[in-house]
């Protein structure tokens, strides 16, 4: 007979946010608001052109820019729903005429995966509470990020993999340092 599995707390994860905007001048304010709640950013990507889809253009305009931030304080994975609700409140607060100026996409990563939060249900998403769903967007296997069938085109790009790889390296160092 096999022994019964014992529940254990989840290992902490590194929270990040992808900011998308047609007004790059909004990025410092968005970063400051995120840091007020999530703690200091330990990584900021370059500001990148967002050319992967026209999905956001009607709402946010053209020539969209994307920047990622990760945060120094590690969190428990179950905080993702709370973080998504917080980022949604910021989007609503900054909206003009019912249109978002900034789209905030929070998620987390650990050694093995990148997880994104969403308010939309779909077959590959798991409900995590408070009206929020989570999806594994990328797996880290064979020393690289591997997309899944539902992975968004931008998260398939090498540019994003470099950014997420830098965040993952910080995370691995943090976990190793805390276990000494």
Q: Is residue 86 part of a domain?
A: yes
DSSP conformation class of 81: H
Q: What is the pTM of this model?
A: 0.95
Q: Is residue 117 part of a domain?
A: yes
- Give the mean pLDDT of 37-42: 98
Tokens of 98: 């019912």
Q: Is residue 115 part of a domain?
A: yes
What are the tens digits of pLDDT across the range 101-150? 999 999 999 999 999 999 999 999 999 999 999 999 999 999 999 999 99
Q: Is residue 74 part of a domain?
A: yes
The pair phi, psi for residue 58, each rounded to 5°, is -60, -40
CATH number of 107's domain: 3.30.70
pLDDT at 170: 98
What are the tens digits of pLDDT across the range 147-163? 999 999 999 999 999 99
Q: Is residue 9 part of a domain?
A: no
- Give the mean pLDDT of 34-59: 95
Query: In terms of Cα–Cα distance, which of 70, 74, 73, 72 is closest to 11?
Result: 74
Residue 156 belongs to domain spanning: 14-178
Q: Is residue 1 part of a domain?
A: no
**180 pLDDT more than 80:** no
Task: Give yes or no for a contact between 106 and 117, defined as CB atoms under 8 angstroms apart.
Answer: yes
Domain count within the chain: 1
Q: Is residue 121 part of a domain?
A: yes
Which segment of 1-5, 40-44, 97-101, 118-122 scores lowest on mean pLDDT? 1-5
């Amino acid at each position: 007979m096999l022994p019964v599995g014992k529940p254990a707390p989840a290992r902490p994860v590194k929270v990040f946010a992808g900011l998308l905007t047609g007004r790059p001048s909004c990025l410092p304010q968005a970063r400051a608001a995120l840091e007020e709640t999530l703690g200091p950013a330990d990584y900021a990507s370059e500001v990148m052109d967002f050319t992967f889809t026209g999905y956001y253009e009607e709402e946010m305009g053209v020539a969209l820019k994307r920047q990622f931030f990760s945060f120094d304080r590690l969190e428990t994975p179950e905080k993702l729903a709370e973080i998504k609700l917080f980022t949604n409140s910021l989007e609503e607060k900054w909206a003009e005429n019912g249109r978002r100026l900034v789209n905030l996409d929070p998620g987390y990563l650990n050694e093995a995966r990148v997880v994104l939060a969403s308010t939309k249900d779909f077959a590959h998403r798991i409900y995590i509470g408070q009206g929020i769903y989570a999806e594994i967007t990328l797996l880290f296997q064979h020393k690289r990020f591997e997309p899944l069938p539902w992975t968004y085109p931008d998260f398939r790009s090498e540019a994003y993999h470099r950014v997420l790889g830098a965040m993952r390296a910080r995370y691995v160092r943090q976990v190793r340092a805390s276990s000494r």
